[in-house]
Amino acid sequence: MNLRPPEIVMSAHQRTVDQYFKGAAREWDEIYELDTLYARIHQERQRIVLSMAKNIGLPAGARVLEVGCGAGLATVALAEHGFAVEAVDTVPDMLLTTRARAASANVARRIRVIQASVDHLPYGDNQFSLIVAIGVLPWLDCMRKAMTEIIRVTKPGGSLIVNVDNTWRLHELLDPRLHPLHASVRHYLRNVFDWPVKVPPTQRCSLRQFDRLIGELRCTKVEAKMLGFGPLSFFGRPLLSESRNIKLNEFLQSCADWNLPIIRSTAAQYITLLSKSDGARH
């Protein structure tokens, strides 16, 4: 396992995102141990992703790439399952955390850590049996460009597990300050008044938009999961206690799992397991 920091060309937006994750590296390392609703949603997301990865049925030693490895929890879990894992991220602090976690779990020999951007992955075509990119696409300038690059390095017939942030998420629809239809107004006011932004804005898309992109890139959707409801607020003020938000999320999640149309389409995240066809577009 090594840590290689090549020269990476990044946009101004990507530099802002990297700066945010550099400052929040410890928080993202600890989020999987907390008992808040936000943490629970991310913990469930990881469980879903790892379950999808294991159910594909890849043999031990199969080459797997995690793009945007972050704190390295999924990377280590994939290595513990017997895969040969490449872990890439643009933030050196995240790579250091991944390397330390791999060493602590005694799986360092199965993991190679590289600093790289999803827009320019340092691999040839058709290299990996599985690519995992969770919590990556929403932070990028161009989702299509990233997906095209991820597909390029996936073997024909190989699998991809990715997620996007849903435009029509319930907790934002119910809060006028967060409503997606007001996004352009918020952007204008931030620029005019030079308001500080703690978290860089993320890119959203609807389920239909992402399914259309998948089709255009000639990938097949094998499995999909909608995840996460809340916490609810009104003009930024919490409407429910943490415990009530957790209970409401559990109820709405069960409804989404039963494919109730309106509820399912307002979950926060859309997680998909995809298969690359032989004729996938590069």
CA-wise closest residue to 227 among 35, 45, 6: 45
User: How sure is the predictor about 274, in pLDDT bands with cuts at 50, 70 and 90?
Assistant: very high
Amino acid at 280: A
pLDDT digits 0-9 by tens, 145-196: 999 999 999 999 999 999 999 999 999 999 998 888 876 665 655 666 565 6
In a domain, 260, yes or no: no
User: What is the identity of the amino acid at 234?
Assistant: F
**137 located within any domain:** yes
- pLDDT band for position 257 (50/70/90)? very high
DSSP 8-state code for residue 268: S
What is the C-alpha to C-alpha distance for residues 22 and 273, in angstroms, rounded to an integer? Answer: 29
pLDDT for 135: 94
pLDDT of residue 189: 59
- Establish if 236 belongs to a structural domain: no
**Which of helix, strand or coil describes residue 111?**
strand
Q: Domain residues for 89?
A: 3-166+202-229+268-276
Instruction: State pLDDT tens for residues 83-127.
Output: 999 999 999 999 999 999 999 999 999 999 999 999 999 999 999
- Give the pLDDT score at 180: 84
Place of tokens 């993991």: 111
Taking only the tens place, the pLDDT of each residue in 16-71 is 877 877 777 777 778 888 999 999 999 999 999 999 999 999 999 999 999 999 99
Tell which residue, 109, 70, 61, has the closest CA to residue 91.
Answer: 70
- The rounded distance, in Å, linking the Cα atoms of 216 and 277 is 12
Q: Quick one: average pLDDT of 269-274?
A: 98
What does pTM read for this prediction? 0.91
* CATH number, residue 150: 3.40.50.150
For residues 81 and 53, the answer to whether their CB atoms sit within 8 Å is yes
The predicted pLDDT at position 106 comes to 98
Nearest CA to 235 out of 183, 172, 190 is that of: 172
Question: Nearest Cα to 111, choosing from 127, 88, 92, 134?
Answer: 88
**Alpha carbons 271 and 247: distance in angstroms, whole number:** 22
Residue at 180 is within a domain: no
Q: Which of 247, 208, 203 is closest to 229 using CA atoms?
A: 247
Cβ count near 232 (within 10 Å):
18
| Helical ranges in the chain per DSSP H | 12-23, 25-30, 37-55, 73-80, 92-104, 143-152, 170-173, 183-193, 207-216, 242-257, 261-264
Residue 130 — φ and ψ, nearest 5°? Answer: -150, 135
211 is written with which tokens? Answer: 């399914």
Task: Look at residue 3 in the predicted model and tell me its pLDDT.
Answer: 43
Number of folded domains that form the chain: 1
Residue 4: the pLDDT is: 45
